[in-house]
Amino acid sequence: MSDASASPTSAPAPTLRLHWSGISDVGRVRKDNQDSGYAGPWLLTVCDGVGGAMRGDIASSVALQQLRKLDEEPPGALEADELLGRVGGALHRAHDRIGEVVDEEPALNGTSTTATVLHFDGRQVGVGHIGDSRAYLLREGEISRLTSDHTFVQSLIDEGRISEAESRVHPHRNLILKAVDGIHEAEPDLFVVALQAGDRLLVCSDGATASLDDEDLRSILGEGTPDFAAVELVRRSLEAGSSDNVTCLVADVLDEAGAAERAEALADLQPMVVGAATDVRRRPHRTPLPAGLFRGRSDTGEQPAVEAPLPDDLPADAHAIPSDPIDPETARYAPRPPRRFAWLRRLLAALVVVGLGWIGVAAAWSWTQDQYYVGEVDGTVHIFRGIDFSLPGMELSEPYEATNVTLDRLPGYVADGVRSGVAADDLADARTIVENLAEQMSSGQADGPSDGQGG
């Protein structure tokens, strides 16, 4: 592989720009996505949360919120020291902010995150790196790994004691030596990489590189648009058996001619936030775990503790993967013992429902007893108390006063109206309606309501 980390020449290259895309997937094993990623015109960064039970998603999200402030156009071409100063300062602020969050919520003690940052200034990128997320450069068909993992197995590779292939199955492959945790000031790797038109950049979490080797990455990155490459990297990682969250950011480096060719795609391009940083939902506070329950910080996922004994030459600041003692989702859906006196609670609830229903029925019946209308019984006009409506097996009205007005002595259309029921505002109004009907009788006068059935 070629070495792309050479310092830029003294003469600034023509202004370049990025065409980016990104995607994050929780994967096929994890319940939570602890990766956070950001892609914009001046920044590509991936943070992979470390902590399992201690909410690595919060650590990666908090760090990303600080790092994304780098996504602003630099004030002209920067010297290497200036560019790296910006990157190093952002990582330091992320470290401080995580420390503040842990102070505010002690249950998060032990959380941390990796961070791989590419800050672009129009001709080069300042790279800041802590942990085992990675950055790659594809140039003219050759791929270069820009970062070196801060892991125990990487130290063994560097010493020539194991191969890259052996590191993928090593029992301590998930031990990281550096992370942003708000407690230990980790010195990041800082360097500058000169860019040229036609380059393609990749920043990804170890969920991708744990299952895809450099040749796989080169093959996938060599095809299609940044959108296609990012999606294909995640898909292929999962198909290859990745058991972790997978986050991939891909960006093409374009000159003016290349930007003109992609003018339509670039016109709608917006900065992207992917993974945990898009929606951090705080869980209920947990009781801080007893000191010494875990050996220290973990890998970037929620894998169980390493069962193999730690090697004698393990660095003093390296730690094994802690296990999550209580999986939140398992606990949420686990069977629970039946509650005592559950039958009594159900009975009381039923009685309350019945009581409320009875009160409602009584109120409705009381209201009907204040309603009146004029109707007929066996051809004679009557005043009814209640409403002119019936339910199966239940009448909601009853005759209240009989009159001497008969339907056969009323005009046909008036008699039909009485048969249908004539609504009244109250009892006095009903009696007025009867008086009006009596005046319309064809002959003679009615005596009005009789006293025989009065209420």
Rounded to the nearest 10 degrees, what angle do helices 214-221 and 226-239 cross at?
150
Give the per-residue pLDDT at 445.
43
CB 243 within 8 A of CB 285: no
Tokens for 140, please give them. 């003219």
The verdict on pTM exceeding 0.75 is no
Give the per-residue pLDDT at 300.
39
Question: Who wins on pLDDT, 258 or 284?
Answer: 258
Flag whether pLDDT at 327 surpasses 60: no
Q: Is 139 left (phi over 0), alpha (psi -120 to 50) or beta?
A: beta
Flag whether pLDDT at 213 surpasses 90: yes
Question: Who wins on pLDDT, 400 or 229?
Answer: 229
Q: How much helix, strand and coil, in percent to the nearest 5, is found in the chain?
A: 35, 25, 40
State how beta strands 115-120 and 43-50 pair.
antiparallel
Mean pLDDT for the stretch of residues 414-438: 86
CB 213 within 8 A of CB 122: no
CB 86 within 8 A of CB 69: no
Flag whether pLDDT at 199 surpasses 60: yes
Flag whether pLDDT at 302 surpasses 60: no
Rounded distance, CA 278 to CA 32, Å?
13
Range from 28-37, 243-252, 322-331 that averages highest in pLDDT = 243-252
Give the per-residue pLDDT at 301.
39
Flag whether pLDDT at 11 surpasses 70: no
3-state secondary structure of 135: strand
Give the per-residue pLDDT at 341.
58
**pLDDT grade, residue 280 (50/70/90)?**
low
Where are the chain's structural domains?
A: 17-280+296-331, 372-439
Give the per-residue pLDDT at 245.
94
- Specify the CATH superfamily of domain 17-280+296-331: PPM-type phosphatase domain (3.60.40.10)
Flag whether pLDDT at 133 surpasses 80: yes
Flag whether pLDDT at 298 surpasses 50: no
Mean pLDDT for the stretch of residues 7-15: 52
Flag whether pLDDT at 286 surpasses 60: no
Flag whether pLDDT at 1 surpasses 80: no
Q: What is the pLDDT of residues 98-125, one digit of tens each?
A: 999 999 999 888 899 999 999 999 999 9
Flag whether pLDDT at 86 surpasses 70: yes
